[in-house]
Amino acid sequence: MNIEVCFTPQAYHLFHKDEAIVVVIDVLRATSAIVTAFYNGVNKMIPVATVDEAKEYQRNGFMAAAERNGEMIEGFELGNSPFGYMNNKVKGKTIAISTTNGTQAIEASRKASKVVIGSFLNLDVLCEYLIEQKKDVVLVCAGWKNKFNLEDSTFAGAIVSKLTKEAGYETNCDSAIASRLLYETAKDDLYEFLATSSHRNRLAKLDLERDIKYCLTPNQCPVIPVMEGKYLVKL
């Protein structure tokens, strides 16, 4: 089995393989928020690319979440903070969600035969699942507005590291090798490793340090969201 890393959603067409499983990654914070939502009892989510689409779902009676540039958009019940999903109000609900990069990465991966959601919060269960499937894996990093980012590629490296060391996965993909090197350097202190990264600083300016620390703490939410048609559901 082979594993590759796509650093930005825009490059996904270069990595697409009909049978491969895609893992969409937006550690800060969209995929961390989604994993947290399912762990806290959300029934389904509908990831959409635009705020207008999220608004339309809201008009039709759905709960809806929208974020741009780190901030919750006025008029929505929820933004992109994982802490917003840790309460009884979301239990059993179907929530439409649109975020700056995370839901764009999901959108870009739609041609994949299987799309699952990854974050440090579900790292171990996700790796166990991928190993069981015995299929090629493509890790799609959301990045920032189609540019590379450090936190998503570092997390991709955590998966590459586990699957190559523990399950015989192979790679000749330089972005996978680079990601693994990032993770090997960062793993003892992810928070410190990201100290100068653009998005950690962007979120810190918005007073979201608590979100960053939470999103970088592995294995707090052992659930795997998976795309089924237009919905994300719990595997």
Residues at the site binding ligand 3SL, with contacts judged by CB under 6 A: 26, 28-30, 67, 70, 80, 99-102, 142, 203
Query: Which CB, 8 or 171, lies closer to ligand 3SL?
Result: 8
Q: Nearest approach, Cβ of 100 to ligand 3SL (angstroms)? A: 4
Tell me the chain's radius of gyration from C-alpha atoms.
16
Closest CA to 126 of 41, 57, 56, 32: 32
Neighbours of 68 (CB within 10 A): 13
Identify which of residues 82 and 157 has a Cβ nearer to ligand 3SL in the complex.
Answer: 82
Q: In angstroms, what is the minimal distance from the CB of 203 to ligand 3SL? A: 6
Residue 127 vs 208, nearer CB to ligand 3SL = 208
CB of 186 to ligand 3SL, least distance (A): 18
222 backbone φψ class: left, alpha, beta (φ>0; ψ -120 to 50): beta
- Minimum separation from the CB atom of position 109 to ligand 3SL (A): 14
* Cα(102)–Cα(24) distance, integer angstroms: 8
User: Cβ of residue 22: shortest distance to ligand 3SL, in angstroms?
Assistant: 16
Q: Please identify, using beta-carbon distances, which residue of 5 and 142 lies nearer to ligand 3SL.
A: 142
- Number of CB atoms found within 10 A of residue 86's CB: 15
> In this complex, which beta carbon is closest to ligand 3SL, that of residue 3 or of residue 141?
141
Of 186, 218, 225, the closest CA to residue 121 belongs to 218
Closest CA to 37 of 231, 227, 229, 225: 225
Q: Shortest Cβ distance from residue 61 to ligand 3SL (Å)? A: 24
| Nearest to ligand 3SL of 30, 138 (CB atom) | 30
- Which of 32, 31, 38, 5 has its CA nearest to residue 20? 5
Residue closer to ligand 3SL (CB basis): 116 or 163? 116
Shortest distance, CB of residue 214 to ligand 3SL, whole angstroms? 12
